[in-house]
Structure 1
């Protein structure tokens, strides 16, 4: 029994909406286009005409000098996408064929673990991200939202296997999400291993740590689930800090009183 305190669609419709003589991006689709520089044009004028920021236009055309804009130059208008409920950085990047790293780099200041609904993201060009698709593991001495160590992957994989080894993939990912939700919360340790091995009020937070099952050998799907969480920030239960199996949890248990978030397989995730 687990008495621990743990914690997509993207429309493919028309890419623009016409209003009078102007076109503005549809909030439910990414848009991509080009424009040829005319006499008297400036980056500000072009950005204003297409309802985008000068910064995003510059980012989409890194080789163009904003102070020497040659007539006839073909500028790439940045693709834009408005974050919808259930979106994650990984899902959006996979939809548009770019890497999560390049998507995050093109949208500085966003929280990759918890995207804000309604936030307009710049979709980078595919060619600019192709060289980083197979990025290696990044070892780091401090926990951050964009890097993880081999130790993080090791313990995340083992806990996912121990808690959700026979469960569907979404349940595995959600278990990892609970770990990361705790890591990013000020109420818990700030590392993956610290969260997994935390002892609160004399009790281990995760049963497999107590009974030793965490040291059993994980499978390939357990590792993939851990990568989805650590590398691609796939958070399907962003507000969950606990999970439990209804069939093995007493009706009077405190964990059943926590606000419901979702259920995947035999695991219920709650706040």
Structure 2
């Protein structure tokens, strides 16, 4: 399957589950001489993130066309998200890894949660961490290329879809847990994604 078709399939999947309606992606009107590379560089993005956000695999741009510029995320923010993805979604399908990273971004964009990736990941309410790998230290075990790729894809598609804010594995949660009261949007691997 070529890259463009894979990106289209993933975009459709996440159109069903993942991204908050109010996230701050912006548009840009292409100027004569612009390239995906120069636009990515000027916006502190990777070339891949910019191409994914615009469902393009080539480098051709036309002056006057409008493209989407996804929000930039710092290297430190990406690495922290990749560590969380590794700890939370190890052994899950790639789409599940992207969805876990998306939950973090959705929380950053939501008024119900802290405003930074670090604060979302390390959030503690009533003495309980939002993510168990923070409590048990698994977040410190690193990440691999697939985890970072998933983070970059979540960033590239930021701002589209329906906005999952939670995920859980129903086999690892007590049956009386409050998470079961949340609206489930989809299931990917062993995880349920909810808002």
TM range (shorter): 0.5 to 0.7
Gaps of 5+ in 2: 1-7, 17-24, 46-69
Gaps of 5+ in 1: 1-7, 10-84, 88-100, 107-123, 140-144
> Which one has more relative contact order, counting CA pairs under 8 Å at least 6 apart?
2
Secondary structure at the aligned position of 2:44 is classed as coil
- 2-side partners of 1:172 and 1:127: how far apart? 36
Residue 127 of structure 1: how far off its partner (Å): 7.0
Q: 1:131 aligns with which of 28, 37, 44?
A: 37
Tell whether the 8 Å contact from 2:168 to 2:191 is kept in structure 1 after alignment.
yes
Distance 1:235 1:244, change over 3 A: farther
What's the RMSD between the two structures over aligned residues? 3.1
Tell whether the 8 Å contact from 2:80 to 2:118 is kept in structure 1 after alignment.
yes
Residue 257 of structure 1: how far off its partner (Å): 1.6
- 1-side partners of 2:161 and 2:186: how far apart? 7
Q: Which 4+ residue blocks in structure 1 deviate beyond 2 angstroms? A: 124-139, 233-238
Max Rg structure: 1
Tell whether the 8 Å contact from 1:237 to 1:261 is kept in structure 2 after alignment.
no
Distance 1:130 1:148, change over 3 A: closer
TM-score (norm 2): 0.68
Tell whether the 8 Å contact from 1:176 to 1:225 is kept in structure 2 after alignment.
yes
Residue 250 of structure 1: how far off its partner (Å): 2.0
Q: 2:129 aligns with which of 170, 187, 204?
A: 204
When the two structures are aligned, how many residues end up with a matched partner?
153
User: Which structure shows the bigger proportion of residues in helix conformation?
Assistant: 2
Residue 193 of structure 1: how far off its partner (Å): 0.5
**Correspondence 1:1-271 to 2 at 5 A:** 8=8, 86=15, 104-106=27-29, 128-132=34-38, 135=41, 138=44, 146-230=71-155, 232-234=156-158, 238-271=162-195
